[in-house]
């Protein structure tokens, strides 16, 4: 393809990651996380998502003047599926095993791959290795890689208030160096419930539907990316 796909989307997630980190039921007993240090809260959230079976991730972020939205269902160890858009140019994505598939609008393909590729791919899926040119997008559909990206890099942390976010009882962890807040569930598993950040690289990501069934099927008759070289 004439232009690379994906890095802008991944860098956007890295930006909102607070350079920090952000369902369980709102009922039940406290899991005790609210009494821990901010670093231990982040550690507990990281451990919780490492063993999750599936999760839904949605939200909107702004990075470098680019508006990016995402709506993804991820299955741990298998892949994921959903939709994304950048400045209104949308595409569908499915990742299964070692392959990633993209189905974009004509405007999307013209912008990122050129007019010739747009004509070829109109109404069709593009197939590529998950470790190849579309690896940045494939990372977004990998539960472990995505959460490691979101939860690992942060500045000085400070514990915030306990509150309710997305209908969940949570404790806030603020990144006082880079800005942004991670909200972790205080009932049930210590899942991250939301990440929010203000400013030019801000936005909001919400995590829910933990461990709900998600079926993944590779699209049929996809065009291999090697045909576009």
Q: How many CB atoms lie within 10 A of CB 226?
A: 10
59 contact partners, CB below 8 Å, separation of at least 6 = 69, 70, 195, 203, 204, 205, 206
Q: Is 218 helix (H, G, I), strand (E, B) or coil?
A: coil
Q: How many CB atoms lie within 10 A of CB 35?
A: 12
Q: What is the mean pLDDT of the chain?
A: 83
Whether the predicted pLDDT of 220 surpasses 80:
yes
Whether the predicted pLDDT of 24 surpasses 50:
no
Q: How many CB atoms lie within 10 A of CB 2?
A: 11
Q: How far apart, in whole angstroms, are the C-alpha atoms of residue 84 and residue 90?
A: 6
For the chain, give every domain's residue range.
7-228
What integer pLDDT is reported at residue 30 of this predicted model? 93
Q: How far apart, in whole angstroms, are the C-alpha atoms of residue 45 and residue 147?
A: 10
**Chain segment 26-40, per-residue pLDDT in tens:** 457 899 999 999 999
Q: pLDDT band at 120, cuts 50/70/90?
A: confident
> pLDDT over 90 for what percent of the chain?
46
109 contact partners, CB below 8 Å, separation of at least 6 = 117, 118, 121, 122
Domain at 7-228, CATH from 3.40.50.300, 3.40.1110.10, 1.20.1250.20, 2.50.20.20: 2.50.20.20
What integer pLDDT is reported at residue 63 of this predicted model? 64
Q: How far apart, in whole angstroms, are the C-alpha atoms of residue 200 and residue 160?
A: 23
Q: The tokens of 45 are what?
A: 């959230």
Most confident of 2-6, 61-65, 130-134: 130-134
115 contact partners, CB below 8 Å, separation of at least 6 = none
**Chain segment 152-202, per-residue pLDDT in tens:** 667 899 999 999 999 999 999 999 988 889 999 999 999 999 988 877 678
pTM, two decimals, is 0.83
Which residue has better confidence, 187 or 17?
187
Q: How many CB atoms lie within 10 A of CB 88?
A: 10
């Amino acid at each position: 393809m004439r232009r690379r796909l994906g890095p802008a989307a991944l860098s956007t997630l890295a930006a909102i990651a607070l350079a920090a980190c952000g369902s369980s039921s709102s009922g039940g007993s406290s899991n005790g996380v609210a009494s821990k240090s901010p670093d231990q809260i982040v550690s507990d959230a990281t451990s919780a998502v490492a063993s999750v079976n599936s999760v839904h991730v949605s939200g909107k972020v702004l990075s470098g003047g680019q508006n990016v939205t995402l709506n993804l269902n991820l299955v741990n160890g298998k892949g994921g599926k959903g939709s994304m858009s950048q400045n209104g140019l949308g595409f569908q994505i499915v990742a299964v095993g070692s392959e990633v598939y993209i189905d974009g609008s004509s405007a999307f393909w013209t912008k990122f791959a050129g007019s010739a590729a747009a004509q070829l791919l109109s109404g069709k899926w593009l197939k590529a290795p998950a470790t190849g040119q579309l690896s940045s997008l494939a990372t977004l559909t990998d539960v472990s890689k995505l959460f490691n990206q979101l939860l690992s890099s942060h500045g000085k942390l400070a514990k915030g208030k306990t509150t309710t976010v997305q209908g969940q009882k949570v404790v806030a962890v603020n990144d006082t160096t880079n800005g942004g807040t991670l909200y972790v569930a205080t009932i049930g598993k210590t899942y991250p419930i939301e990440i929010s950040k203000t400013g030019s690289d801000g936005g909001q990501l919400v995590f829910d539907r933990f461990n709900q069934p998600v079926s993944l099927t590779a699209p049929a008759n996809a065009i291999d990316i090697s045909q576009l070289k």
